[in-house]
């Protein structure tokens, strides 16, 4: 264990570099969470939970799914999720992190090759490392680099490409159709983390893979339920063979207490709302576009085309000052710094929510324009 004196020295150094983090309660209007559709407090979800509580649904699962933790609600929701995604099977996990680490470490064996986008989430990076497969990191969304790496692969096992579909800090999208074409051409598999696309994108809200022709490519997608669905946990959408293999070999599934059945009730209510209220995903994307338009010429929002709008400020001090100014004005927007993003690319990460209205976005644009100018002058 690290000596406590060394911990204190490390923390002091983080403060010196404006890189120290602390837990705070949520100040002001939510522009920071991933509750993109505003479902975490939706009355329909609350009523569903109350109804099932009164009917006696278990508050805890009681164990792992392979022991006594497999309940009827797990089986029911996994069938619903497979249909939602349009695949043969789905498997619930306790978090997106658990799902990514578990899927990658189980399905990408030593001796294989994994190609991972440089902007992929920490859970993907950890999963790739845990797999003990050979891996190569390719420049963000660089299809030529992926093609070169696949052409250079001489191993006996099929290679695997892994990417997010919506990148959580950039707010841009992966070229999934083109990656599918490369996987098809080179006989590779594709693993896609749809965490920030699930509920927001696709004809039915099932993510950016929804509607793409994927049938002849070995494909697994990971979807979190703690973002647009407003709950907790995650699920993997896959073939029946992959599901059975994960149940038998995936350590982050086997050796953990299952999510409580009550969480599955939440998922089902959220899926109902995604189906019945498609205006939510249209509205949140329209708000994000208005924000980008309102900041044009004064802020660098990168390549964002989604409900996530980064405002790139460069230095930690500038990001901290801008975030503090926004919080004073009633907007809960947080500074994002290294190691979440590369050194020198500190930013505000603004996450739009379907409960926001146009007038609030106009007030946010005005506040941002003022603070961007003020922090640049400082």
- Is beta strand 189-193 parallel, antiparallel or unpaired with respect to 219-224? parallel
Residue 193: active-site member: yes
Which of the following is catalytic: 30, 52, 98, 164? 164
Which of the following is catalytic: 30, 35, 78, 193? 193
Residue 168: active-site member: yes
Residue 100: active-site member: no
**For residue 375, what are the contacts with CB-CB under 8 A and spacing of at least 6?**
313, 318, 321, 322, 325
Which of the following is catalytic: 121, 153, 223, 283? 121
Q: Which of 98, 123, 366, 141 lies closest to 254 in space, CA to CA?
A: 98
* Region class of 330: left (phi > 0), else alpha (psi between -120 and 50), else beta: left
User: 236 with 90: CB under 8 angstroms?
Assistant: yes
Which of the following is catalytic: 32, 34, 95, 304? 34
Distance between CA atoms of 171 and 299, rounded to whole angstroms? 15
CA torsion angle 26 266 86 191 (round to 10):
40
Which of the following is catalytic: 227, 243, 266, 356? 227
Q: E strand or H helix at 177, and its extent? A: helix 176-186
Tokens in use for 120? 């992929």
Residue 227: active-site member: yes
Q: How many CA atoms lie within 13 A of 241 on its CB side?
A: 3
Distance between CA atoms of 219 and 108, rounded to whole angstroms? 13
Distance between CA atoms of 213 and 39, rounded to whole angstroms? 30
Residue 121: active-site member: yes
Which of the following is catalytic: 61, 120, 168, 316? 168
- Is beta strand 89-93 parallel, antiparallel or unpaired with respect to 234-238? antiparallel
How far is the CA of 207 from the CAs of 22, 26, 195, in angstroms? 33, 28, 8
The phi, psi pair for 309, rounded to 5°, reads: -120, 105
Which of the following is catalytic: 153, 196, 223, 283? 196
Residues classed as catalytic: 34, 121, 164, 168, 193, 196, 227
């Amino acid at each position: 264990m690290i000596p406590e004196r060394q911990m204190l020295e490390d923390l002091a150094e983080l403060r010196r570099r404006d890189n120290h983090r602390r837990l705070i309660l949520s100040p002001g209007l939510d522009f920071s969470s991933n509750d993109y559709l505003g479902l975490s407090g939706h009355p329909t979800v609350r009523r569903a939970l109350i109804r099932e509580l009164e009917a006696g649904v278990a508050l805890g699962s009681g164990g792992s799914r392979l022991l006594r933790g497999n309940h009827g609600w797990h089986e029911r929701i996994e069938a619903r999720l497979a249909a939602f995604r349009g695949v043969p099977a789905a498997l619930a996990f306790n978090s997106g992190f658990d799902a990514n680490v578990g899927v990658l470490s189980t399905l990408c064996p030593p001796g294989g090759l994994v190609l991972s986008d440089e902007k992929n989430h920490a859970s993907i990076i950890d999963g790739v490392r845990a797999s003990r497969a050979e891996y190569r990191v390719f420049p963000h969304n660089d299809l030529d680099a992926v093609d070169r790496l696949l052409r250079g692969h001489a191993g006996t096992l099929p290679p695997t490409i892994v990417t997010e579909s919506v990148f959580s800090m950039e707010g841009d999208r992966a070229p999934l159709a083109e990656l599918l074409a490369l996987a098809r051409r080179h006989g590779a598999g594709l693993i896609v983390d749809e965490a920030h696309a699930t509920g927001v994108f696709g004809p039915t809200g099932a993510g950016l893979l929804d509607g793409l022709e994927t049938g002849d490519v070995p494909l697994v997608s990971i979807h979190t339920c703690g973002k647009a669905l407003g709950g907790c946990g995650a699920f993997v959408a896959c073939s029946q063979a992959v599901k059975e293999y994960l149940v038998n070999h995936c350590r982050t599934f086997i050796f953990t207490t299952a999510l409580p059945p009550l969480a599955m009730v939440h998922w089902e209510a959220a899926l109902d709302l995604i189906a019945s209220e498609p205006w939510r995903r249209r509205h949140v994307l329209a708000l994000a576009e208005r924000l980008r338009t309102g900041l044009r010429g004064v802020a660098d929002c990168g390549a964002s085309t989604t409900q996530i709008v980064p405002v790139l400020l460069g230095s930690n001090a500038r990001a901290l000052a801008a975030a503090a100014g926004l919080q004073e004005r009633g907007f809960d927007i947080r500074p994002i710094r290294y190691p979440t993003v590369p050194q020198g690319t500190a930013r505000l990460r603004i996450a739009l929510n379907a409960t926001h209205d146009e007038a609030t976005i106009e007030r946010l644009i005005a506040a941002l324009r003022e603070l961007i100018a003020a922090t640049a002058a400082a």
